[in-house]
Chains A and B, each alone.
Chain A
């Protein structure tokens, strides 16, 4: 009981049975369908999966910003003990977004308004949430710019004048300067070249240490994920396939879910001879009319009859290691 309570106190975010569907004229597209996970204080949870598996949608759901016709149709998102799903838009805007949870966007290319200077955008964001005198605000902004390694010159510039890496840093600084507990990073390094990628990743790691932050790091690049995450969550077809610690997934034992296994196999290793590129045949499931049973069954190489009928639920197979797979249950 005590251990349970202790564990709960360490959690900054709990998601229970979250469902986000896009209600189109042809039916509901189940982009995120009943997922449950949690984020502990000071850790980085990575979310991986193919395009369309629901990772970005999860992030959008956590920010309570589903784009129409999307809607959160069920579940709970609990931050600091409070469920934010039933809150009104105004409450969320004032108390939750950017205060408790912020987001570093995908493709910093286009997430800064082209007609305002960086300074204006940062000031606007800061002063929207805090009553601050101008000097105080500038001081705070500069402090965080320093964290990400930028000088104050950047405040006078317009977004199109800056490089991708610089823009990414600005976006990170903005996500941090209100000192929220949870930072969502949605493919923050995808659009950057390798050198800059490495810089940004190191930056994120430093910041996590210095400022005691909790990250959710979304990407489709397993290598980056391995570098950054403490725990890993694999999504497929809008559902969670597997959750485990970095060691459990990448370690010698390897992952348990067939999908995760093949994903790892598909990434060629630098120091191994590669005869043929392994890949997973088939396509991700249609989320409008998903197949019965396990969403992965038509591409699975160890599929059983039960997989085609019943959908497996997420079960803890080892401490902190969850898998949703019938075959894994057997062993």
Chain B
């Protein structure tokens, strides 16, 4: 029953992913090809250089030969086929994770494989945003429930105001302020990056990472957790007004169990949905935030690839981020279905 639901959602996600990659490939086809063309030109120039120094050929022959080489390469990279075919083949390549080689950027091991470059950065992004998200949700749940218990009272109102105050605050700006204050004025935290240079070994390595992690996570939590608490409060409040809550209380179930058992459990699907959704959004939108903290995650990589016009890495990162985002949406739907027995048992959405 539930499996039907799972399969439907997964296939849906895959189809959307394919369509999006196709659109991206079409949109950025020109850019990608510019890079390839430039690369080919350079290559051929190099070859011509090599040939001309040997002194065997006349200038006309060299020109002819360079044209031939260009045609050869164009064929190799499919540049001579009609536009549509090129887009399709690029789509296929991207879907199969054949991202090619980067133009400038190298991985920390000096490799140029785009796939490797990207995959390196993924765990770092997840470390940063994942940690922040977990703390966010935990704190938000505690505070949100407290708010829902005494709605309309000062605690509730006060925290709601805090929510609205940070609603429009860019996380990267707060990051800038935090860095300015805690790194340069009151020198407590490091200015960025994941590790000190040179990174310490053993246990200290992890402590060092933690030290670097603190300021960005703190920034994220300060901004994020109010919204979390507010949403949780609304969800829990809605649930608390349902009849089965009164019924549970009437049966003599202690308030703690009613709140954290019956109410929270029922509210869990929308809460987790919302938490995951915000995690997704922050991961995919974390480009500026990571850059400010020089945190070499996916977002930072994305920005660097834009600055350096390293199109293969850019496309790869974009595709990967989109894929991750869609994955997240699918997993979200699956978790919701799992937690809500009404869906789990009937298999319907």
A and B in direct contact, judged by CB atoms within 8 A: yes
Residues of A participating in the B interface, judged by any CB pair closer than 8 Å = 63, 65, 67, 93-94, 97-99, 102-103, 105, 107, 109-116, 124-125, 128-129, 158, 160-161, 174
Q: Across the A-B interface, give the 3 residue pairs with the lowest CB-CB distance, nearest first.
A: A111-B247, A110-B243, A98-B252
The answer for the CA separation of A296 and B265 in the assembled complex, in Å, is: 46
The answer for the CA separation of A107 and B345 in the assembled complex, in Å, is: 23
Contact of B341 among A103, A107, A114, A125 (CB under 8 A): A114
A-B CB contacts (within 8 Å), total count? 73
A65–B250 CB distance below 8 A: yes
Residues of B participating in the A interface, judged by any CB pair closer than 8 Å = 242-254, 257, 261-262, 265-266, 268, 339-342, 345
Contacts of A97 in B (CB 8 A): 250-252
Contact of A105 among B243, B253, B262, B265 (CB under 8 A): B243
B266–A113 CB distance below 8 A: yes
The answer for the CA separation of A99 and B250 in the assembled complex, in Å, is: 11
Chain B proximity of A160: nearest CB distance (Å): 5
Contacts of B242 in A (CB 8 A): 110
Task: Please name the residue on chain B nearest to A92 by beta carbon.
Answer: B252
Chain A proximity of B150: nearest CB distance (Å): 10
B250–A103 CB distance below 8 A: yes
10 interchain pairs, CB-CB under 8 A = A65-B250, A98-B250, A111-B246, A113-B265, A116-B261, A116-B262, A128-B253, A128-B254, A158-B341, A161-B345
The answer for the CA separation of A99 and B252 in the assembled complex, in Å, is: 9
B254–A116 CB distance below 8 A: no
The answer for the CA separation of A115 and B242 in the assembled complex, in Å, is: 13
A125–B252 CB distance below 8 A: yes
B249–A65 CB distance below 8 A: yes
The answer for the CA separation of A99 and B262 in the assembled complex, in Å, is: 21
Contacts of B261 in A (CB 8 A): 116, 124
The answer for the CA separation of A97 and B255 in the assembled complex, in Å, is: 13
- CB contact under 8 A between A113 and B252, given known A105-B243, A158-B345, A160-B341: no
B250–A115 CB distance below 8 A: no
- CB contact under 8 A between A114 and B252, given known A65-B246, A105-B243, A105-B247: no
B265–A125 CB distance below 8 A: no
B244–A111 CB distance below 8 A: yes
The answer for the CA separation of A160 and B266 in the assembled complex, in Å, is: 13
Contacts of A161 in B (CB 8 A): 345
Contacts of A112 in B (CB 8 A): 244, 247
The answer for the CA separation of A260 and B121 in the assembled complex, in Å, is: 78
Contacts of B345 in A (CB 8 A): 158, 160-161
B243–A115 CB distance below 8 A: no
Task: Please name the residue on chain B nearest to A63 by beta carbon.
Answer: B250
The answer for the CA separation of A129 and B262 in the assembled complex, in Å, is: 18
Chain B proximity of A121: nearest CB distance (Å): 8
B254–A115 CB distance below 8 A: no
A115–B252 CB distance below 8 A: no
- CB contact under 8 A between A115 and B340, given known A110-B243, A124-B253, A128-B254: yes
A113–B262 CB distance below 8 A: yes
A98–B251 CB distance below 8 A: yes
A110–B244 CB distance below 8 A: yes
Contacts of B250 in A (CB 8 A): 63, 65, 97-98, 102-103, 105
Task: Please name the residue on chain B nearest to A117 by beta carbon.
Answer: B341
Chain B proximity of A169: nearest CB distance (Å): 15
Most buried by A among B246, B257, B265, B268: B246
Contacts of B268 in A (CB 8 A): 115
A116–B251 CB distance below 8 A: no
The answer for the CA separation of A125 and B247 in the assembled complex, in Å, is: 11
The answer for the CA separation of A98 and B345 in the assembled complex, in Å, is: 31
The answer for the CA separation of A93 and B266 in the assembled complex, in Å, is: 23
B243–A107 CB distance below 8 A: yes
Most buried by A among B252, B253, B257, B342: B252
The answer for the CA separation of A113 and B243 in the assembled complex, in Å, is: 9
Chain A proximity of B248: nearest CB distance (Å): 6
Using A115-B266, A115-B341 as known contacts, list a sample of 19 further A-B pairs with CB atoms less than 8 Å apart, ordered by residue number in A. A93-B252, A97-B252, A102-B251, A105-B243, A105-B247, A105-B250, A109-B243, A110-B242, A111-B246, A113-B262, A114-B266, A114-B341, A115-B339, A116-B261, A124-B253, A124-B257, A128-B254, A129-B252, A160-B345
